[in-house]
Amino acid sequence: MIRHSTLQMQIPLTNSPFKPPQIFPFHNPKQFSLQTHIPNSLKGSGYLSEITKAIDYEEQYRVAKSQVNRKGLNLEGYSIEGVSIGGHETCIIIPEFKCAFDIGRCPTRAIHQNFVFITHAHLDHIGGLPMYVGTRGLYNLKPPTVFVPPCIKDDVQKLLDVHETLGQVELNCELVALDVGETYEIRNDLVVRPFKTQHVIPSQGYVVYSIRKKLRKQYSHMNGKQIEKIKKSGVEITDTILSPEVAFTGDTTSDFMLDPLNADALRAKVLITEATFLDDSTSVEHARQHGHTHISELIENAQWIRNKTVLLTHFSSRYNIEDIHQAVAKLQSKLSAKVVPLTEGFKSLYS
């Protein structure tokens, strides 16, 4: 509030000649007013206009800054955080699963996750692995379990061995080669299965499933005592139901959506996938040649996306937060799923 004299005026911000930029699809300015006292000598001098401009700009700055500073997202009941900037680093953390998808440069929060799922061997996805394993040892945390595509397991082991030799330290972890179609239980109510993705080097995504038991139909009419008696006789009375909760693709072309074997990734509650390129400055053909996805391809394949929420990642560093939100708004209009961009690490026009 600005105080000068006894004259009281209301200045609607939306009537200001300075219009909020249209690059904020995520922000709908509300009508509100500023009470202030302006001396008669300043009336008509342009003073009010300049004040209004400054306040309006400050509001835009505040909203943009809040987008920059946002550290985590709550999507379909899961806390998802991390950073994913194309060519720089990717590490997506889900504390409820105690896991990270890819390790990037090993952000501090990832160190406390017991499981890491590596999609492929590019440095911006795997470069921080020795640091991750070594830091857990430094903190006396139990050795982690690291999952990799089978074809790179030996080389990943060599990577760890080199750092052991250079640093004269032990890097203890369980390195698991998990192939497409195989299943690994990370908790008694959670399993993980890899699925095939398309990148310029060998790659795979991962789906995390929840497990629940469901009574078989033929026993649904029985009471508790009858069911207990049958169960004690050794008869299996339940079916195991797997429900896809979260899918992570890592770097891939949009072709993964056309593979019938990847249906679970496209019906998980949350799909975390990439959209490296967002505008016409880069063609779809260029994106595909480099093993990436152009956001326009997601629009074209919207019919296959049955997830509740899609978290977009791996934007090129050429974009700012406003560019990202503009592109996401176009995609959102074509999808029934909620579309959310991961903008951690990106700059705003207002920062």
pLDDT recorded at residue 48? 60
pTM of structure = 0.77
Closest CA to 308 of 267, 254, 275, 343: 267
Residues 6+ apart with CB under 8 A from 115: 97, 98, 99, 100, 144, 145, 146, 147, 186
Residues 6+ apart with CB under 8 A from 296: 284
pLDDT recorded at residue 32? 39
Phi-psi region of 199 (alpha: psi -120 to 50; beta: other; left: phi over 0): beta
pLDDT recorded at residue 249? 98
**CA 76 to CA 230: how far, in whole Å?**
37
CB 254 within 8 A of CB 298: yes
pLDDT recorded at residue 55? 64
Q: Which residues pair with 277 in a beta bridge?
A: 294
Handedness of CA 113, 114, 117, 118 (dihedral sign): positive
Query: What distance separates the 2 farthest-apart alpha carbons in the chain?
Result: 95
**CA 220 to CA 227: how far, in whole Å?**
9
pLDDT recorded at residue 16? 40
In angstroms, how far is the first alpha carbon of the chain from the final one?
A: 24
DSSP letter string, 24-87: -TT--PPP-EEEEE--GGGTTTTHHHHHHHHHHHHHHHHHHHHHHH--EEEETTEEEEEEEEET
pLDDT recorded at residue 47? 59
Length of the chain: 351
Under DSSP, the state recorded for 5 is S
Under DSSP, the state recorded for 133 is H
pLDDT recorded at residue 216? 80
Q: Going edge to edge, which strands form the sheet with 184-187?
A: 184-187, 190-196, 204-215, 238-248, 270-274, 309-313, 338-341
The pLDDT profile of the chain, 351 residues, written as one tens digit per residue, is 433 433 343 434 344 444 434 433 434 444 434 444 545 554 455 656 666 666 666 666 665 555 444 468 999 999 999 999 999 999 999 999 999 999 999 999 999 999 999 999 999 999 999 999 999 999 999 999 999 999 999 999 999 999 999 999 999 999 999 999 999 999 999 999 999 999 999 999 999 999 988 878 777 777 877 778 777 887 787 778 999 999 999 999 999 999 999 999 999 999 999 999 999 999 999 999 999 999 999 999 999 999 999 999 999 999 999 999 999 998 998 888 999 999 999 999 886
pLDDT recorded at residue 60? 65
